[in-house]
Amino acid sequence: MRQNQQAELIIEAGGRASGYWLELWRHRELFYFLAWRDVVVRYKQTAIGVAWTLLRALAALLVLSVVFGRLANMPSGGVPYPLLVFAAVLPWQFFASALTDCGNSLVEGAALISKIHFPRVIVPGSAVIVNLIDFLVSGAVLALLFLWYGFLPDWKILTVPLFALLVVALAIGLGLWLAALMVEYRDFHFIVPFALQLGLYASPVGFSSSAVPEHWRLLYCLNPMVGVIDGFRWALLRGDSLYYPGTLLSLVTTGLLLVTGTWYFRRTERTFADVI
């Protein structure tokens, strides 16, 4: 630390490329404190606190199970329909709220951004962390559903963290895009909720993606959430087979979004304080 303090720091136009990740590492405590703040603040002055996350998940579960399972009578491949929906609601809800929070994070943190220097990526980053914690809590509690149905997953459940990683990467990649775009174009404030609402039905949350005709399947998998949800179902529900091209495609799209999101964010972050 001492020798760092004496090091010369040169600030130039466009000269911020070197040491970006090192600087992020130096600000890890700020990252920790901001994420901690978001967690603490999220359920302050609510009567039931984190239970809201569970209630939201349960409500979505109920509605989707009734609409798609009972009324539309979609096939479930022998699995209790609520479990089929649950395996999708879990990652979807994380994705949707992480994306919303990420997108709004910079604009909401405008006061901080225009007064203090720090790697801006911390702000959307902490928004993802908060939702990740919600995700873990609701995942753990809703796992009780499996016991209720007496349905036990097999060894494939061990791959759940990998798919969780995939959806986190997806949320970060897309979230970085949205956060950076939102700084300049507040339009996304209206676009995001709308798009997510459509996305709920465009992604196989309420139904199994095997219901999609075979020749459309690969095209359908261009939506990276399809691969995520299929992965979760494959890992949690016995007997479901994985559609590998779809997973691979999802992996590629997610990687692409993550790389371009980081690129766009870094390219625009130097002007955030001027534009916001």
Partner 1 sequence: MPNIVLRTQGVGKKYILHHQDVAACHRTLRDKIVEHAAAIGRWLKPETPQRASPSREEFWALRDVSLNVKQGDVLGIIGRNGSGKSTLLKLISRITEPTEGRIILRGRVASLLEVGTGFHPELTGRENIFLNGAILGMTGAEIRRKFDEIVAFAEVEQFLDTPIKRYSSGMYTRLAFAVAAHLEPEILIVDEVLAVGDVAFQKKCLRHINDVAREGRTIVLVSHNMLTVEALCTQALWLHGGRVMDLGEPHRIISQYLRTSFSSLAHQHWSDETAAPGNDQVRLHRASIRPQGGAVADPVRVCDAFVMEFELWNLRSNTYLYVGIQLHNEHGILIFESAPVEATPWLGKPFPVGLFKFVCHVPANLLNAGVHRVALVVSKNEDVLLHKEEEILVFEIADSTEKRGGWYGSWDGAVRPILAWDTQLLQAKGAVKQVSNAS
Residues forming the site for partner 1 (CB under 8 A): 5-16, 29-30, 32-34, 37, 40-41, 44-45, 111-118, 184-187, 270-271, 273-275
Least Å distance, CB 174 to partner 1, is 17
Closest CB 53 distance from partner 1, rounded Å:
18
Closer CB to partner 1, residue 46 or residue 197?
Answer: 46
Spatial CA neighbour of 227 closest among 92, 57, 54, 117: 92
Q: Rounded to an integer, what distance in angstroms lies between the CA atom of residue 16 and that of residue 270?
A: 9
Q: By C-beta, is 14 or 150 nearer to partner 1?
A: 14
193 CB contacts (<8 Å, ≥6 apart)? 100
Residue whose CB is less far from partner 1, 16 or 56: 16
CA distance 101 to 226: 21
Q: How far is CA 243 from CA 92, 148, 155, 237, in A?
A: 19, 28, 18, 14
Q: Would you say 149 and 80 are in contact if contact means Cβ atoms under 8 Å apart?
A: yes
**Residue 70 vs 267, nearer CB to partner 1:** 267
Minimum distance, C-beta of residue 57 to partner 1, in the bound complex (Å):
24
Complex with partner 1: residue 29 or 214, whichever CB lies closer: 29
Q: Whole-number minimum distance, CB 212 to partner 1, in Å?
A: 31
CB of 111 vs partner 1, minimal distance in Å: 7
- Cα dihedral 39, 32, 130, 271, rounded to 10, equals 110
Shortest distance, position 45 Cβ to partner 1, whole Å:
7
For partner 1, give the closer residue by CB, 70 or 186. Answer: 186
Instruction: Give every CB contact of residue 53 below 8 A, 6+ residues apart in sequence.
Output: 93, 134, 137, 138
